[in-house]
């Protein structure tokens, strides 16, 4: 009887410790998450590498506006935009030569460079009226800009171009799912679907600079570093659905 009693007490203490540890982890995670922008501003960036120096307003760039027309790889692979804001050497000279924004904004495919204020507006919320119209027509989700882009693509509600260079691009096909065990207690695995990412990106956007090719060889692959913009956090902090949406990666987790 005494052994059974002691065992019960030990299990209760262990359970309490695990619960307390889980609560502490959850609190730490909540504190580290960056505040979410309003939906119309989520994913928007201010491009200001040289604008101030040139006495121009910064460029307000909306990812949602461009994502509805082109996949991420068009800009971040074919047009060679860096993934981190203000690290690409964009100049008007290069744009007028057809590089970067100039690949589309030539006055034919999209408005030309003579319409300065459409880009150099200094407004992070520029075009919010168009956002609300777009968002009302697309499937909803809880976080970020509250649009489920993957589902919208799957249902052909949007048809973003995967290339602007026909004949030079062959779509990638890779449907393997990865099960990524969590390091924290009581957190179910993350499930990574390659096919949903390959629609928007190239393999080279992630491999090998962000993730090693071979499974379980990426060092320091922890939430701590994702919250610093590394690994999944390179996209899933500011543009793709944010890390607040736990169930999108950890589908077996209880609702927050």
pTM, two decimal places? 0.84
Kindly report the number of other CB atoms within 10 A of residue 84's CB atom. 11
| DSSP conformational letter for 77 | I
Mean pLDDT of the chain: 88
pLDDT of residue 199: 94
Assign 32 a pLDDT band (cuts: 50, 70, 90). Answer: confident
The tens digit of pLDDT for each residue in 147-159 reads 999 999 999 999 9
Res. 118 pLDDT band, cuts 50 70 90: very high
Query: Can you tell me the distance from the alpha carbon of 62 to that of 46, in angstroms, rounded to the nearest whole number?
Result: 9
Q: Predicted confidence band at 255 (pLDDT cuts at 50, 70, 90)?
A: low
Please give the helix or strand (H or E) that residue 178 lies within, else none.
strand 177-180
Using 50, 70 and 90 to split pLDDT, how confident is the model at 26?
low
Fold that domain 44-148 belongs to in CATH: Cytochrome C3 (3.90.10)
């Amino acid at each position: 009887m005494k052994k059974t009693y002691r065992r019960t007490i030990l299990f209760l203490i262990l359970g309490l410790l695990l619960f307390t540890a889980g609560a502490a982890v959850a609190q730490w995670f909540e504190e580290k998450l960056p505040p979410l922008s309003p939906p119309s501003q989520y994913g928007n960036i201010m491009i200001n590498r040289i604008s101030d120096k040139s006495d121009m307003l910064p460029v307000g760039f909306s990812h949602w506006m461009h994502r509805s027309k082109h996949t991420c790889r068009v800009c971040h692979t074919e047009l060679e935009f860096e993934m981190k804001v203000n690290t690409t050497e964009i100049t008007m000279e290069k744009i007028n030569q057809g590089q970067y924004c100039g690949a589309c904004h030539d006055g034919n495919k999209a408005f030309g460079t003579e319409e300065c204020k459409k880009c150099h507006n200094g407004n992070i919320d520029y075009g919010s009226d168009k956002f609300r119209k777009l968002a009302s027509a697309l499937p909803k989700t809880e976080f970020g800009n509250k649009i489920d882009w993957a589902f919208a693509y799957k249902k052909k509600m949007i048809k973003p171009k995967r290339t602007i260079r026909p004949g030079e691009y062959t779509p990638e096909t890779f449907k393997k799912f990865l099960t990524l065990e969590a390091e924290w207690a009581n957190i179910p695995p993350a499930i990574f679907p390659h096919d949903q990412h390959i629609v928007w990106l190239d393999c080279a956007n992630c491999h090998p600079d962000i993730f090693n090719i071979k499974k379980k060889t990426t060092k320091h692959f922890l939430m701590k570093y994702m919250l610093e913009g590394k690994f999944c956090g390179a996209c899933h902090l500011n543009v793709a659905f944010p890390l607040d949406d736990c169930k999108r990666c950890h589908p077996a987790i209880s609702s927050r």
